[in-house]
Every structure is written in structure tokens, then in C-alpha cells.
A and B are shown apart, each in its own frame.
Chain A
């Protein structure tokens, strides 16, 4: 048979072929080079997948990870006071649930994700650890971590239904969001000489608790400082602009570790002893200032992207400088640089691991101390680090996903 006939025959067939074959042709065998590439890659990928699956489900020994889930969660936080962490977590997750019910959209994705996450952790084969709760002695016998994590995912769903009620106003929920973090911090740190809430020194805090405190604390605090620095740098007042520029460039010119180090050790020399905050707070200050400098540069880029006509129009309708900035320029600037800001927040979240260097046991630090605590675990480093990497990956990925959804909602790049 002549080959040209054959060719036309296959062409005719392929145009009628089902979608999947067409797709394979277009994406895997579009030309001879691609075909060779695909044929060599398939066995390689299959082999890697085989190795990974065999390791995860057969040869890996996850005991270092599963034996002390509480350590990963809260570090050395006193076990008889652990209910304080529990209640904080429960109330925040409940608020997420309520907000999901009220607004939907992005919060819906976050709510569903959180529900699945806690449910997933509840069914993962972590070892049971009893939570002895002094007040609710009856509850403590059933109050295993597993039960509690399940309870959280239940609370999110309950919150979702409550949020749908008309009686719950949006204002109430927003007030809740402002109040809860403050209550959480008070609940976790406690008071001196208190029977019910004895103060817990932050040196005992650890694990994911510290990671999230540093990350969210840093994000919330660094954002307004970053806005102020960006406005300061663009200010017409030379003194303000010079100080902002010097600060931003100096912070961006040195590694975060040096700043963390400065706040951990040099601060003893420049502040009177009574004014020196606790170690974790010093770390938070360092992370905040570091992140603020980068946020400021991002925001400055956004400010430059706002057309000057906007500002002139605002002035023409009689807005004051303050109104122009906060109602016209900043909203547009922030919308334009949303991806960059979220990227900065993700890297702040990842950078919280550096507090290990100044001796704070965050999530990664706990992993290291678990490895070093038991000789057998020294052989299980891969498992521990892979687990840690996956947890960080989940949250970073969630943040970038949220950013993409928010961009869609705000119509970034469309208007």
C-alpha cells in the first residue's frame, strides 16, 4: 500500500478520534522529538512513582511523626493547660465556618479545606494522646486528639449553618474577627497569679502554634507598616522619604537571620532590661520589620501603577489628600499587586522557620528536636522532614490558591 494513502487514512481517522486520543497526539506525540521524549520519560516517571509509593506505604517508618502529634502541634505547652489552645483553635475555626456561611466565595473554599484538613488529621493513624482537662474531667476520657480534631471539623460545618441565619449580622462576625485574636493571645499567655489561667511562659510554646502565631502576627502587623513605609518613601517631604528609603534598603540588603539575631541578642544592649519583650515577641518584631520592608516595595510598585489622572480626578471632586490616598489610590494599588503581596506573605510564612536559628521551637524546630531526642529516630530523618515539608506545602499552596481566587473575584488584569 502506498504510504501517502496510509497517511491520509490515519489523518481522517484521527480527526474523528475521541478527545483523549486527540489530546495524546497533540500533547505527547506532536512531532518526532516529542515522541522520543515521551517514550523515554514514561518509564522514568513510572519508576519514580513506584519508588515513591513503595517508600511512603511500605518502607517508610512514620513512627517518629505519629508518636507525638501534640509535640508537633503545640511544643512543650503544658499538657494540663492544652485546652486553652484547643478552645482558641475551635473558636477561630468556628468563625471561619460562620464566615463561610455568611459570605461564601473564597471563604467557602477555605472552610471546606479546613474541614477536610481537620477531618483528615483525625483519621490519619496518629497515636492517641489523652488530653487531660482539669475542668471537664468527664470529657477528658473521650477527649483524644482524634476526637477533638473531628469536633473541629464538625464545628466548622455547624458554624456554616449558623452563618446562614439572618439573625447573625455581618458586623457581628467582623467584630468577632477582631476580638478573637486578642482573646486567643490572652487565653494562651494567661495572667500571673491566676488560678484558672496561670501564665505560660512563651519559651514553652512551640510547634505549629508558634509557626502560625509568627506567620499571622507578622502578616497582620507588617502590612500597615509596609503601607506606611511605601507612602513615606513616596512622600514629598524629604526627611520622611529619606528615612523610609534608608530603612527599606537597609533591611532588604541584609539576610533575615542577621535581623533575627540582632533582635535576639543585640536588643539586650539597646533597651533597658525592663522593656525587653519575650523571645517570641522579639522574633515576631524582627519578622514584621523584615517583611514590612519588602511589602513596602511591592506597594510602591502598585502606587506607581495607578494612573495620575485618578488622583487628579479625586482632587477635582474635592477629596482631601487623605481621602484620595485611602479611597482612590491605595485600593487600586493593592488590587494591582495582590499576587506580589500574597507571594510576600507566603515567603514570610516559610521564613518563620528561621526562628530555629535563634532557639525557638517552631514546627521545624520541633521536628529537629524529636529527631535528636531518640537514637532510633536519627534513622527516620527523611520521614520527619518529608512530613514537615508536606505541611508547609499544604499551607503555602492554600495561600496561593486563595490569592488566585481573590484575583478572579477582584477582576485583576481584566479591568
Chain B
């Protein structure tokens, strides 16, 4: 009020209900009061209801024994372990199916996109059929189709069908031979990782040096040799037997050994991958088609071969367009993995539901689940947005 009075020359003729600054602050205050009031109303109701029902709102239950079994976990778990541990199992299971799914869906989606762009009419029509089929049915229907009509319909363990004594398809899952580390295998594994990261490091740094200084740095040769030599050294350091092959053996009632993929995991994995791949295919196709034809013609005119055109002209420009929608597809896949519950793969959301049934505490568990999803979503989009910004910057 004081400020208005102090400048009468401007505001004398405008009543306060016509003054834009007044209206704006009034709108802000009113909306803030409405929203915060609604939140307070909800919170008060919540505490009243919690009090009436005698709900325990503490988080101490996290350290208590969970008491329910979990059908599959790649970290150690048994029912005597805590709720926190069970929650961690859920997070790991979600990440497992999401990360594997993202890799597989990207590969499948890119292949479908290439098929869609093929000059071969038959192939491009088949790819179109694939895309239209998957984009127009609900994911849940697809999951039911894969799980109930494919993966849970495999034969009994006794008369499993096999593929050259290395993969067995049974009702209890797919068993396949799998390399596992021996006692000295750790050294080999470290050597492999160092090799991969070293190769990446040399590739990036030497290539950048070449781009800056123009001198030949042999970045391909150097990084390839790092990639090969380090694992070989690791192999010898590990006395030449870092791995053993775990072969599934049929015992009296079930298979022992090997890698077991449960029908539930396969159902959600294949369902998510085939579904998301159709969206990724469209994203990739749109990105490639958005590259100006003149760019490709110009590249041909200056004498680049088709591999170089793809590598140096099409992919860098298409990536700029592809990456933002790709990020949202990856996030969609991760969020969609919560549907695994309906076919019994116990990821974060499914385990949360079981925990609520066993221990109550719906509110706390729910808050934890939502915050976890929110955390992953924001983390992924932040990382990929930074990458996206870099790529936009470099190529422009």
C-alpha cells in the first residue's frame, strides 16, 4: 500500500482492481492459499484417519524381519531378512528388467526402423505391421499374451524341449548354459573391465586429439589392442581358467545349474522389449528421415562412401532428433516395468504390494515406492539431458 501511495502520479487514475501488479499478486496469493489449503486439509484428514485407525507412521519397520518369501532375486534374500532388504530386492529386480530391456529394445527398435526404411517393399511392410500391431494394443494385453500363452505354456520339466543340449525350455523357466567365474576369475573380470574402459578412454581422448591437432593418432588401433590385450593378460594371470561352464543338468525332479530365466521374468522382459521397440523404431525412423536429403547428396558428391555417410553425416544429425524422445521411451519402459506385478514378476511395485498386505504401513511403503520411481526418472532424464545438450552443442 505504501508503495502505491508513494507514486501517486502513475497510479492515481488506475483503481487497484485494474492495476496489473495488484491483480497478479492477488492471483498468486489466492492460488497459493487454495493449493496449500487443500494440502493442509488432506494432511489433517490423513492424521485424523491415521489416529482413528491406530496406524503406525514410523519408519522403524524397515529393520524388522520381512517374513515373506521372494520368488527370484539376484542379491541374497530370505524371509528372515529385513523389509529394507526386501525393498532393495525390489529395486534390483526393477533395474534388472529395465536395464536389460532398454538395451534389447534399442537394438530391436533400431533394427525394425532400418527394416522400415528398407527399399525392399516386403521387408518394410513387415516392419510396419510389427510397429502398428504393437503400438495399437495395450501393453497389458501383450504381457498376458506373452506370459499366459507362451512362457507359462512350456512343457513340464520332465519332458522339456531342448536346443542342442544347451538351452532347455520348461514350465519352470528357461535353463541355459552359462559361463561362471572360478576362484581366480575375479582377476580376469577386472582385466576385462579395465580393458573396456581403457579402450573407451583411448578412443575418446586420442580421437579428440586428432580432431584438434590434425595429427594421426591411430585411435582405432590403440583402443582395439587395449581391448584385446588386457583380457588376455587377465586370462594368464588367472592361470588360464577364469571361467567354467555351468551346464544345466536334469536331476530327479528339476534342473540344477545353468542360468535360469523364470517365465515371469521372460514374460515381462519380452513383453516390454517388443512393445517399447515399436515406439523406438518410430523414433529412430523419424530421426533418420529428418536428415535433409541434400546432406546425403552432398556427402556423396564429396566422395564419402556409404559407411562414412552413415557414420559421419546421418547418425550425428539423426541423434540430435532421436535422443529427446528416446529418453522418454526409456523412462516409459522403466515405469511400465511396474506392470510386471500382473504376471508375478516381483519388482518394486509388486513387492511393495506384498509388503503392504503383510505388514500394513501402506503410506510409508507407498511413499518409498513413489520416491524411488521419481528418483530414477529424474536421474535418468538429468543424465541424458546433459548428454543431449553436449551432442546438440558439438554438432551445431
Say which one of A124-132, A171-179, A231-239 lies at the interface with B.
Answer: A231-239
B120 in the interface (beta carbon within 8 A)? yes
A258:B373 contact, CB within 8 angstroms: yes
B342:A252 contact, CB within 8 angstroms: no
Chain B residues with CB under 8 A of A256: 335
Chain A residues with CB under 8 A of B139: 350, 353
Q: Which residue of A lies closest to B135 (CB)?
A: A396
Chain A residues with CB under 8 A of B370: 254, 258, 262
Size class of the contact patch on chain B = 35 or more
B residues 266-304 near A (Cβ < 8 Å) are: none
A364:B141 contact, CB within 8 angstroms: yes
Whether A385 touches B122, Cβ cut-off 8 Å, given contacts A270-B49, A353-B138, A392-B137, is no
B148:A381 contact, CB within 8 angstroms: yes
- Selected contact of B46 from candidates A240, A269, A392, CB within 8 Å: A269
Binary contact track A377-407/B, C-beta < 8 Å → 1, others 0: 0000110011011001100110010000000
A389:B141 contact, CB within 8 angstroms: yes
Whether A258 touches B31, Cβ cut-off 8 Å, given contacts A266-B366, A350-B138, A392-B136, is no
A residues 230-273 near B (Cβ < 8 Å) are: 236-240, 243, 249-250, 252-258, 261-262, 265-266, 268-272
Distance in angstroms between the alpha carbons of A389 and B137 in the assembled complex: 6
Binary contact track A356-369/B, C-beta < 8 Å → 1, others 0: 11000000100010
Chain B residues with CB under 8 A of A261: 353, 366
B121 in the interface (beta carbon within 8 A)? yes
Chain B residues with CB under 8 A of A262: 366, 370
Instruction: State the majority secondary structure of interface residues on B.
Output: helix
Chain A residues with CB under 8 A of B133: 393
A257:B24 contact, CB within 8 angstroms: no
B170–chain A nearest beta-carbon distance, Å: 19
A392:B138 contact, CB within 8 angstroms: yes
A107 in the interface (beta carbon within 8 A)? no
B residues 315-368 near A (Cβ < 8 Å) are: 335-336, 338-339, 341-342, 349, 353, 362-363, 366
A residues 21-76 near B (Cβ < 8 Å) are: 27-28, 30, 34, 37-38, 41-42, 45
B123:A41 contact, CB within 8 angstroms: yes
A45:B122 contact, CB within 8 angstroms: yes
Chain A residues with CB under 8 A of B159: none
Whether A243 touches B138, Cβ cut-off 8 Å, given contacts A45-B122, A356-B342, is no
Chain A residues with CB under 8 A of B136: 346, 350, 392-393, 396-397, 400
B144 in the interface (beta carbon within 8 A)? yes
A272:B336 contact, CB within 8 angstroms: no
Whether A269 touches B45, Cβ cut-off 8 Å, given contacts A243-B35, A253-B377, is yes
B220 in the interface (beta carbon within 8 A)? no
A315–chain B nearest beta-carbon distance, Å: 13
* Interface-central residue, A37, A38, A258, A381, by most chain B CB under 10 Å: A258
B373:A255 contact, CB within 8 angstroms: yes
A residues 291-341 near B (Cβ < 8 Å) are: none
A354 in the interface (beta carbon within 8 A)? yes
- Selected contact of B377 from candidates A254, A265, A271, A364, CB within 8 Å: A254
B275–chain A nearest beta-carbon distance, Å: 10
B45:A271 contact, CB within 8 angstroms: yes
B120:A34 contact, CB within 8 angstroms: yes
Distance in angstroms between the alpha carbons of A245 and B120 in the assembled complex: 46
B362:A266 contact, CB within 8 angstroms: yes
Q: Which residue of A lies closest to B146 (CB)?
A: A385
A382:B149 contact, CB within 8 angstroms: yes
B245 in the interface (beta carbon within 8 A)? no
A-B contact pairs, 12 of them (CB 8 A): A41-B122, A237-B31, A239-B32, A243-B31, A243-B35, A255-B336, A265-B362, A271-B45, A364-B144, A381-B148, A385-B148, A385-B149
Given A237-B31, A351-B138, A396-B137, 14 more contacts at CB 8 Å?
A: A34-B119, A37-B122, A243-B35, A253-B374, A254-B377, A265-B362, A266-B363, A269-B50, A271-B42, A272-B45, A350-B137, A389-B142, A392-B136, A396-B135
Name B's A-contacting residues (CB within 8 A): 24, 27-29, 31-32, 35, 42-43, 45-46, 49-50, 55, 118-123, 126, 132-133, 135-142, 144-145, 148-149, 335-336, 338-339, 341-342, 349, 353, 362-363, 366, 369-370, 373-374, 377-378
